[in-house]
């Protein structure tokens, strides 16, 4: 990639999470942003995920909020719940259409599109973007069994970047996780220490 290349990132959140998990590491999104800012002029970094709206607490909500405030364009939609033919409750939250529409709209303003997904359904999108003169890199992995990237998507891309090779540059240091857990525990303990039972009004 040339330094002057205008780059846009398109991150299929669920797919990237599953791929990183299969490789045994967590993504540090601040480092990910810096890595691709160093490769050219980063125009935009999109992150796509579905959210379960009626949940009291969603484990992905803190990440989505952080990304929103730290340089990512976050695109979400509520999941849809349905019951399959066997009566099992299923949750559906596919963001492929939203990602494809945004990619086609951005194609006229960028030189390089980086797609973080191994989903073979994106092969036609990659081909369409390439017809507009944009180079497409796909980030996924084929070192797992089975491979997380569809063969047809990898073949269509101009470049394939294995996430395993990116891990040292964009992975979160495992020590950070321990340190973060310790800080949370310290904050909880401090809150307990500051709690004064005398301030609680227990009158009926």
pLDDT tens per residue, the chain (204 residues)?
Answer: 455 899 999 999 999 999 999 999 999 999 999 999 999 999 999 999 988 776 666 678 899 999 999 999 999 988 777 777 777 776 667 889 999 999 999 999 999 999 999 999 999 999 999 999 999 999 999 999 999 999 999 999 999 999 999 999 999 976 665 555 566 566 666 655 554 544 444 444
C-alpha dist (Å) from residue 26 to 45, 50, 69, 72: 18, 19, 20, 18
CA-angle at 111, arms to 115 and 70, nearest 5°: 55
Number of H helices, E strands in the chain: 8, 8
- The residue ranges of DSSP E strands in 52-146, in sequence order, are 73-78, 80-83, 89-92, 112-116, 135-140
* In this structure, CATH architecture of domain 6-172: 3-Layer(aba) Sandwich (3.40)
The whole-number pLDDT of residue 199 equals 45
H or E segment to which residue 124 belongs: helix 123-131
The whole-number pLDDT of residue 144 equals 93
Contacts of 74 (CB under 8 A, 6+ apart): 46, 47, 49, 64, 67, 68
CA-angle at 99, arms to 95 and 105, nearest 5°: 150
Structure tokens at 74: 């976050």
Cα 181 from chain centre? 22
Evaluate whether 106 touches 43 at the Cβ level (below 8 Å): yes
Q: How many CB atoms lie within 10 A of CB 1?
A: 15
Structure tokens at 56: 């009291």
């Amino acid at each position: 990639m040339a330094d002057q290349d205008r780059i846009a990132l398109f991150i299929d959140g669920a797919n990237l999470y599953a791929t990183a998990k299969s490789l045994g590491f967590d993504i540090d999104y601040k480092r990910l942003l810096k890595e691709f800012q160093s490769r050219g002029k980063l125009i935009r970094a999109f992150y796509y995920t579905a959210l379960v709206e009626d949940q009291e607490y969603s484990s992905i909500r803190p990440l989505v909020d952080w990304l929103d405030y730290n340089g990512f364009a976050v695109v979400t939609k509520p999941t849809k719940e349905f019951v399959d033919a066997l009566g099992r409750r299923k949750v559906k939250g596919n963001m492929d259409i939203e990602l494809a529409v945004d990619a086609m709209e951005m194609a006229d303003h960028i030189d390089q599109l980086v797609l973080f997904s191994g989903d073979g359904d994106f092969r036609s999108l990659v081909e369409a973007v390439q017809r507009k003169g944009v180079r497409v890199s796909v980030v996924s992995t084929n070192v797992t069994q089975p491979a997380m990237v569809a063969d047809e998507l990898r073949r269509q891309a101009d470049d394939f970047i294995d996430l395993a090779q990116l891990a040292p540059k964009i992975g979160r240091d495992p020590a950070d996780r321990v340190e973060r857990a310790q800080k949370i525990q310290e904050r909880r303990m401090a809150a307990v220490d500051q709690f004064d039972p005398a301030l609680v009004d227990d009158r009926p």
